[in-house]
Amino acid sequence: MTSPLANLQSQIDELLARIASLESLEALRAAEPSLTGKRSVLSSLQKSLGGLAPEERSDAGATLQGARRHVEIALEDRRVELAREERRIRLQADRLDLGDVVVQSVRWPATVGHRGLVPSTQRELEDVFVGMGFTVADGPEVESDWYNFEALNIPPAHPARGMWDTFYVDLGEPETVVLRTHTSPTQIHLMELALAQEALPIHSVMPGRCYRRDTPDARHLATFHQIEGLVVDRDITFADLAGVIETFTRSYFGSDIESRLRPAYFPFTEPSAEFEITCTICRGDGCRTCSQTGWIELGGCGMLDPAVFSAVGLDADEWSGFAFGFGIDRCAQMRYQIGDMRALIENDVRFLGQFS
């Protein structure tokens, strides 16, 4: 009796050729049932093994499963290639050619523009931290789920995921992609790079834009800006962290503004704290902006959790460190005594003109 797998190799070669010829994700989805599904030649061969003797059936089944796995891997690899190519085409189509823009004559008195309040605040913050011995780094705004959550000790189904109301991005990629909810993923990129280049220790700040599905109010925006701080060195303690926060507060807001740390929880730091400063609008007396408390929360901080070191391959017994992050928009609000943060995005020229 001829084995049903006698022509297996030629059949597999034909399937691989069909996969290689697929030119779009739509075509791949349409062809998938006939490649690996119930209507495929692989399923037909699987059914035909029932006619073999028991001693032959086991070996034939293992051979067929190996062939199926080979086809499935080729199909998945092609899916990734097509998704990457379709994304490249979309991005290319969205590019703007500004070379053909014609500047029209202005019929009214033109005024010289100036840097916006948030970019100006970001530059001022960078200057303060550079003066304290930090370097400035940057990271992507679109992140994989691993960088935004898992590497920061926030695995799937972790209750802490509820702390971030996330925008998810559908790019046709196999892995989950998000608009970063905080600047903390840049910590992971920076530690990976420092480890690869043997560039430890790290003393760096990382400013950038973040996104959360927040309802805008006097102290919150859906698109906002943070600045992240990271120190990785030997023999770093919580006292070092408290000293950096206090030095920053007095350098940026003035010697009459104080900071305080309150116990908190963040999955990527242990112990963790929230840091607050005296409300610069009411000077601690209590107002609408500070909810009558006299204090304004700027952000969170804490000692890096060993799980974060483990995610990037650093030895937590040799290295220690801390991280902190706070809102650039919130700093601008406090520095310039702006009662409602929504004024930053309303584009009222009367408001913008005050900061020229």
Task: Tell me the sheet residues that pair with 324.
Answer: 229, 301
Residue 96 to residues 84, 92, 100, 209, Cα–Cα distance (Å):
21, 9, 10, 22
In the prediction, which pLDDT does 354 show?
80
Pairing state between β 202-211 and 135-136: parallel
Q: How many whole angstroms separate alpha carbon 79 and alpha carbon 175?
A: 12
In degrees, rounded to 5, the angle at the alpha carbon of residue 52 between the alpha carbons of residues 51 and 54 is 120
In the prediction, which pLDDT does 180 show?
92
- Show pLDDT as tens, one digit a residue, over the chain (356 residues): 567 777 778 888 888 888 888 888 888 888 888 888 877 888 887 777 777 777 777 777 788 788 888 888 888 888 889 888 888 888 888 877 666 655 555 555 666 777 788 888 999 999 999 999 999 999 999 999 899 999 999 888 877 777 778 888 877 667 788 899 999 999 999 999 999 998 899 999 999 999 988 777 777 788 889 999 999 999 999 999 999 999 999 998 888 888 999 999 999 999 999 999 898 888 888 888 788 888 988 889 999 999 999 999 999 999 999 999 988 988 888 788 787 878 887 878 888 778 76
266, 325 Cβ separation under 8 angstroms: no
In the prediction, which pLDDT does 125 show?
93
71, 16 Cβ separation under 8 angstroms: yes
Q: How many whole angstroms separate alpha carbon 49 and alpha carbon 129?
A: 70
Name the residue with tokens 């006097």: 218
Q: Is 289 exposed, middle or buried (0-12, 13-18, 19+ CB in 10 A)?
A: buried
- Quote the pTM value: 0.63
First to last CA, the chain: 90
In the prediction, which pLDDT does 173 show?
67
Three-state DSSP class for 347?
A: coil
Nearest to 229 by CA among 247, 241, 218: 241
Q: How many whole angstroms separate alpha carbon 231 and alpha carbon 201?
A: 8
Three-state DSSP class for 184?
A: coil
Buried b or exposed e, range 304-330, using 16+ CB within 10 angstroms: bbbbbbebbebeeeebbbbbbbbbbbb
Phi, psi dihedral angles at 183 (to 5 degrees) = -85, 0
What is the widest separation between alpha-carbon atoms in the chain?
94
